[in-house]
Amino acid sequence: MASIVGFPSCFCRDKKWHITTLFENDRHFSHLSTLEREMAFRTEMGLYYSYFKIIIEAPSFWNGVWAIMNDRLTEYPLVINTLQRFNLYPEVVLASWYRIYTAVMDFLGVPTKMCWTVNRGKGLSPVESCEGLGDPASFYVAMIFLLNGLMMSLFFIYGTYLSGSRLGGLVTVACFFFNHGECTRVMWTPPLRESFSYPFLVLQMLLVTYILRIPNINTGSLIALCVSNIFFMLPWQFAQFVLLTQIASLFAVCIMGYIDSCKLQKILAAHMVALLVCFILMFGNSMLLTSYYAASLVIIWGILELSPKVLKSSRREVYVWVIEGCAWLFGTITLKSLTSLVFGIADDAHIGNILKSKFIGYKDFDTLMYTCAAEFDFMEKETPVRYAKTLLLPVVLVVLGVIIKRAIKHVTWSLSQAGQCEREERFNQGELVYHALQLLAYSVLAVLIMRLKLFLTPHLCVMASLVCSKQLFGWLFCKIQPKTLVFAILALMAIEGSANLQTQWNIMGEFSNLPQEELLEWIKVNTRQDAVFAGAMPTMASVKLSTLRPIVNHPHYEDAGLRARTKVVYSMYSRKPAKDVKRELIKLGANYYILEESLCVSRKKPGCSMPEIWDVEDPANSGRVPLCTLMSKDSRPYFFTVFENSNYRVLKIPKE
């Protein structure tokens, strides 16, 4: 019992210490001022943290919640419910905890933070820096790191349960640490949605494994699955695509006869209830009900109901599998298209365009804004090499090969109507076949979009635990002690794995962004509280967070209306006439435009500078000098430069 509790507790503590150390080493976060900490939360991170800040600074918790549900700062002049749009329940929960914590500590007279003056040198003014859970940014980050520490405990339990051995749990955890840079980015970008959401996916997949393994599903298991689905979907808009791959994998497992349709329908029911609850809690977020995930749930349920009646063959023939698979694919696409058409929803249209760009080279402004970013490119060729060096890939390929071999054998038995004994053996393999199919799905996602290797790499670590499975390698364990084999593998993994860890620990830095600090301080002092700003998405998040000025665009790019606004704002980097750009900015209500020369000239790869992106969208003006270049020289007569430093130029937009 001590080991059952002790191992997960140790791994939780070690994981939390590891990511906390990396974060502190990279930014020296504990010695930053409040403004510097806010600037350290760049792009989406700053946008999400701004709502946490609004709630904790409001007169009461409910005043804060009302403020973010009736927000006029984020997409001025629109009033939007940010809880509906931005998956902000983590910020609501953490803000409530922070308010409770500080209230209790104040009542007890216990200090919650320690502050001191930091001399920054180089002629810079000293700043006050506070450390402790009473500091909002420190509390926020600490809770995220705690959650991800608990996730490591879950990985140990997951690997142990899947493999049937605590050695399997140890292998999973060791693989995760040895490949830490490929598994997560929480230590660099804590506020991103995946930091809150992914731990609940680990719990959810553990529950799915349990449900697939037990012969009869109890109500408690389904309720737990439903709750874990809700906790996974609420914080992250991308969760629905991951769950789509899961139910597709489960459907394939059912088609092949590894689980019966009754069990799958109960799992689907838990998914449907969770989806409905999320729809309600997200105030009717239409992207949930018009998603491929929702359409797939309905289509699979319909196939399970109708297939026995329409396809009356008692044998599981290959042609039946093909018919059911095609019915799922075409039915899901058709139903999704119809629901989007009926409800007039185009918020997720960019997802299809991104996929088109991967296969047929499709290009438009919105697609290039994604695909020009490294994280949305194809997986790096070096990634599989790094997997191989830590032996993660070779071990998983061996495990996968054994599962595929057994699956083929059992499918052959199924097609030949094998006896009951053989059927029982096949049914006991269902969770392993599911994990193999899920691995293939994650591999496809990661190859297409590098960012999504955060699903692939941890799942590889879980699959590696099966090297300890007597079910798969019992014949080998008769010849060699499992402990001997496992520790030999871990010793070989540790050669490259320890080097990877040392590389991460050696990363040392200190956050500083003086040009942006100057910009934000200037805005606070020299502009009205209701002055409206437009500019690059990352900068707008910082402006909203640190100055509380209204902005017309922001980094959460998942809404069709916001994408249209951002396109207007980014026309400053096009080759359009200044007069046309000014007219459109005035329509948005902007008073100031923050111009960044780096966006005008930087080029991450061929065709990816902002003027080149605009050449695809606006070929009529191709060949002209980019407007941003003209503005950096002389902004008159259409704009007036009111602030300038090495990185930023603030242009005032005079009314016509």
Largest CA distance in the chain: 86
Residue 288 phi, psi dihedral angles, 5° rounding: -70, -50
Strands (E), 94-151: 114-118, 127-131
The structure's pTM equals: 0.92
Indicate the pLDDT class of residue 417, thresholds 50, 70 and 90. low
Query: Is residue 445 within 8 Å of residue 485, measured between CB atoms?
Result: no
* Among the listed residues 43, 28, 29, 20, the one whose alpha carbon sits nearest the alpha carbon of residue 553: 43
Share of the chain above pLDDT 70, in %: 95
Distance CA 292, CA 351 (A): 11
- For the ranges 43-52, 173-182, 413-422, 564-573, which has the lowest average pLDDT? 413-422
Q: What is the DSSP letter of 58?
A: S
| Backbone phi, psi, residue 218, to 5° | -95, 160
638 vs 655: CA distance, rounded Å:
10
| Residue of 168, 183, 186, 170 whose CA lies nearest to 494 | 170
Per-residue confidence (pLDDT) for residue 516, from 0 to 100: 94
Grouping H, G, I as helix, E, B as strand and the rest as coil, residue 316 is coil
Tokens of 562: 């916001």
422 φ, ψ to 5°? -65, -35
Residue 628 contacts residue 573 (beta carbons within 8 Å): yes
Strand order in the sheet with 533-535: 533-535, 592-596, 648-652, 640-644
**Contact by Cβ (8 Å): 553, 75:** yes
> HSE-up of 312 (CA within 13 Å, CB side)?
2
> Taking residues 515-526, what's their average pLDDT?
94
Asked whether residue 424 carries a pLDDT value surpassing 50, the answer given is no
Please provide residue 649's backbone torsions phi and psi, each rounded to the nearest 5 degrees.
-135, 120
CB 191 within 8 A of CB 233: no
Sequence-distant (≥ 6) Cβ neighbours of residue 527 within 8 angstroms: 547, 549, 591, 592
**Other C-beta atoms lying within 10 Å of the C-beta of residue 306:** 12
Helix (H, G, I), strand (E, B) or coil at 468: helix
Please compute the mean of the pLDDT values over residues 40-52 and round it to a whole number: 94
What is the per-residue pLDDT for 427? 41
**Residues composing the chain:** 656
| Other Cβ atoms closer than 10 A to 214 | 12
Q: What is the mean pLDDT of residues 205-218?
A: 92
Among the ranges given (207-216, 317-326, 431-440), the one the predictor scored with the smallest mean pLDDT = 317-326
Structure tokens at 419: 């006896």
pLDDT of residue 20: 92
User: Bridge-partner residues for 127, per DSSP?
Assistant: 118
CA distance 614 to 196: 35
Cα distance between residue 642 and residue 527, in whole Å: 10
**Which tokens hold the place of 271?**
């998914």
- State the chain's mean pLDDT as an integer: 89
Q: Phi first, then psi: what are they for 507, rounded to 5°?
A: -70, 115
Reference 370, options 535, 565, 558, 622; nearest CA is 558
